[in-house]
Amino acid sequence: MNYILRRTGSDLFRLLKRYSYKPAFRPKPAPPLQIATRHYHVYPQRSEITAPSRALVLTRQCPAIRRLLAPLVRTWIPHCRYQASPPRPELIHFTRGVGGLPWFLDWRKVAARFLLPGAAAIAAYYCSLEAVPYTHRTHFIFLPPRFERWLGELLFDNTKEDEADKILPPDHDESVRLRRLTSEIVGAAERTLAVPPVQQDEHMWITKRCRNHVKVPSMTRHLDGLDWEVIVIEDDTVNAMCLPGGKIMVYTGFLHHFKTDAEVAAVLGHEVGHVIARHTAEKASKSLVSMFMRTGIRQFFDNPRLVKYVSKFLQELPLSRRLEIEADHIGMLLLAAAGFDPYIAIEVQEKLGKLGGDSELQNYFSTHPSSKKRTKYLLKDKVMEEALELRRESSVSKAEKASSWS
């Protein structure tokens, strides 16, 4: 009976297995995960070395030591055993396993890191060279004139909002007077700079060696359509400033000390000279270059404060003093072209030195040079002769206009 039950049960199991549901598609089992491997170096364990073996090694290496230690080896060493230190744990150093030469020996990596960026920087430098009108100094500027003008207008609008209560009305006597003098200075600049705009590709690849023979054309394109504007702020500060885009601000404290039209015109010519020479854009361009240089120096010399002070006293302050002297030069030429005596500019510098406390330390630690240095530059024969020639031409043109009107 038991045999029959076992037999029927196995037959029934086979029938159920044969006619059971089988899916049409069975997914393949996922492949086993690969074990991540890394390169490593294994240092061998320190083996146990007995004292006799150490002595034998020493005696094999040096015959003199062997003769000296022969009695000791025969008598003392066989009765002593050297107890070695316990085995140290294995020290494993993992490495990345990257082969090849270092980057400074691979010319492709050197080119990618230094040569290509250096070539791009040199090309950008020579493409951005411009010459300052009147002085013909070549400088590097990467800011476009449109952005420079927009920046000046933005700062000027913010200043008018902040000083709205102190700004004199347009029909005030001082406002009318300053607008008249500014128009005379700007008119003199337009007459003396009556040249077509300079195309950028004309002086793109002029090298330093050929600058002595080929002059870079002066940049006057940023003066086209410039909206000159002057405001007077009621404040005791003895100062006057000019923003990019032809925006001039004069404080009443300055007008209390400089009352004649010639003195005011000399200061206005100085401020207009900053706009003509694009000094604000030059400072911004060189500040960006200085920032990149400081970042590179910090990779090797980790002292940000010292690097900042070195950059300030060796690059920023000397540049500011040089631009102020150049603005004095251009301002005196504009003053003479407008029909004023160019020696008035020297008198204004001497008076400013007395008001501000002139010192020789300004030539090293200030943004403006000392009055003695500024007057010494303006009294140079070449600069003064050029100014006197412009004044003679202005006198002749005014005489011709007066004769034509009569």
Q: What residues act catalytically?
A: 271
Beta strands (DSSP E) in 180-336 are 229-233, 240-243, 247-251
Identify which of 53, 46, 52 has the alpha carbon closest to the alpha carbon of residue 84.
46
Joined tokens for residue 316: 């920023």
Measured over the CA atoms of residue 362, residue 363, residue 369 and residue 373, the dihedral's sign is positive
CA-to-CA distance for 78 and 124, rounded, in angstroms? 83
Residue 276 near residue 248 (C-beta atoms within 8 A): no
Cα 317 to the center of its chain, rounded Å = 15
Beta carbons within 10 angstroms of residue 192's beta carbon: 18
Rounded Cα gap, residues 278 and 132, in angstroms: 8
**What are the Cα distances from residue 308, in Å, to 22, 315, 319, 391?**
79, 10, 15, 45
